[in-house]
Amino acid sequence: MTASDPDPVDDIVATIARSAAEIRQGLVGRRGKADEENPSGETQAEADIWADELLADRLSSIDGVGQYASEERSEIIDAGDDQVYIAVDPLDGSSNLKSNNTMGTVFGIYDEPLPAPGSALVASGWILYGPITTMACARDGSVTKYELTGGGRTVVEEDVTLPDEPLVYGFGGRVPHWHDDFREYVREIESDPGHKLRYGGAMIGDVNQVLTYGGIFAYPALEDSPRGKLRLQFEGNPIAYLIESAGGRSSDGSQSILEVEPTDLHDRVPLHVGNTGFIDQLEAALA
Ligand code: P6P
């Protein structure tokens, strides 16, 4: 690719940003359950299917895109080119539709065919459908935050890094299903009055709090689900890439998420992301 060729990464990020307002508006009237399950066996909302089809059409037609893969579809779309490969969670936290809580769209842009390790990411990010619609995007080792209005995108912060002092924590999974060593780790975090609980049921809302205030988000390995709940390609890798680009750490319990070798497109991964000290402490607790 020469300097004058269009950059597919720029086009992909711009297309997702431009689509955010339409996705947000399109949630209205699509809050019901479809009679379909995603490849992870979760019942899909009408909005899951609709947002996936919208993004699949727009992203797979961008020059340079080799594949479009989604948490909502079992098969990868072959987009014909061979520069970048896109993995998307079109609507993270769609269970929050019923209660009108935050949700997001997560994307990872890889330079290897999928499934690929997170070390093959060249960019990642998320859209957060909060009181306002925002985007966080990691590329070339730094994170930029945008506000999205209509089809426009305004930079609100560049070179975003996690605050040095961690403040918030949020841990998924049912507490009785946590492993004892994880439960003990949580007790240590909770016992510090300088920390406070933030868990909203949509990873993007929780991770964005960690990016903003410092802290940790985890959806750990569970006794009844050894690989946790979250998907490596569509959630774990993109989130880990962004948090590490912002000076934090990620872990599957023993190594960076970005080093986890995938075996299947819909692999799950125990996900822990946040301030380096918290993640170092976690790995010591689970060792
Ligand atoms: P639970 C949403 O369904 C999701 O995939 C993540 O966004 C979120 O962190 C997690 O599941 C919530 O899971 O078990 O708390 O409902």
- Over 70: is that where the pLDDT of 31 sits? yes
State pLDDT tens for residues 117-170: 999 999 999 999 999 999 999 999 999 999 999 889 999 999 999 999 999 999
Tell me the sheet residues that pair with 136: 126, 145
Mean pLDDT calculated for residue range 2-11: 83
What is the structure's pLDDT at 38? 87
- Is the model's pLDDT at 45 over the cut of 90? no
How many residues are given for the chain?
Answer: 287
- The answer to whether the bond into 115 is cis (omega within 30° of 0) is yes
Is 89 annotated in some ligand binding site? yes
Write the CA distances from 53 to 180, 268, 275, integer angstroms: 41, 23, 35
> Is 93 marked as binding a ligand?
yes
What's the rounded mean pLDDT across residues 241-247? 98
48 C-alpha to ligand 1 centroid (Å): 14
Confidence (pLDDT) at 44? 85
Confidence of residue 37 (pLDDT cuts 50, 70, 90): confident
Q: Would you state the pLDDT for residue 163?
A: 98
Domains and CATH numbers, the chain: 8-157 (3.30.540.10), 168-286 (3.40.190.80)
62-117 residue pLDDT tens: 999 999 999 999 999 999 999 999 999 999 998 899 999 999 999 999 999 999 99
| Nearest atom, ligand 1, residue 206 CA | 9
Q: Is 235 annotated as a binding residue?
A: yes
**What pLDDT, in 10s, does the model give residues 158-213?**
999 999 999 999 999 999 999 999 999 999 999 999 999 999 999 999 999 999 99
Q: Is 199 annotated as a binding residue?
A: yes
Q: Is 236 annotated as a binding residue?
A: no
Q: Report pLDDT for 85.
A: 98
* Residue bearing the CA closest to ligand 1, atom 3: 93
How much is the mean pLDDT over the chain? 96
Confidence bin at 3 (pLDDT 50/70/90)? low
Taking the centre of ligand 1 as the mean of its atom positions, its distance from the CA of residue 241, in whole angstroms, is 19
Q: Which of ligand 1's atoms lies nearest the C-alpha of 92?
A: 7
Binding-site residues, ligand 1, Cβ < 6 A: 92-93, 95, 172, 201-203, 219, 229-230
State the pLDDT at residue 2.
62
CA of 7 to the centre of ligand 1 (A): 33
Nearest Cα to Cα of residue 30 among 47, 51, 44: 47
Pick from 268, 244, 1, 2: which is nearest to 143 by CA? 244
- pLDDT on residue 33: 87
Mean pLDDT of the 271-277 span = 98
Atom of ligand 1 nearest to the CA of 217: 9
Closest by CA position to 166, among listed 230, 46, 247: 247
Which residue CA neighbors atom 2 of ligand 1 most closely? 93
Task: Please tell me the residue having the least CA distance from ligand 1 atom 14.
Answer: 173
Q: How many angstroms separate the alpha carbon of residue 219 from the centre of ligand 1?
A: 8
Tell me if residue 167 falls in helix, strand or coil: coil
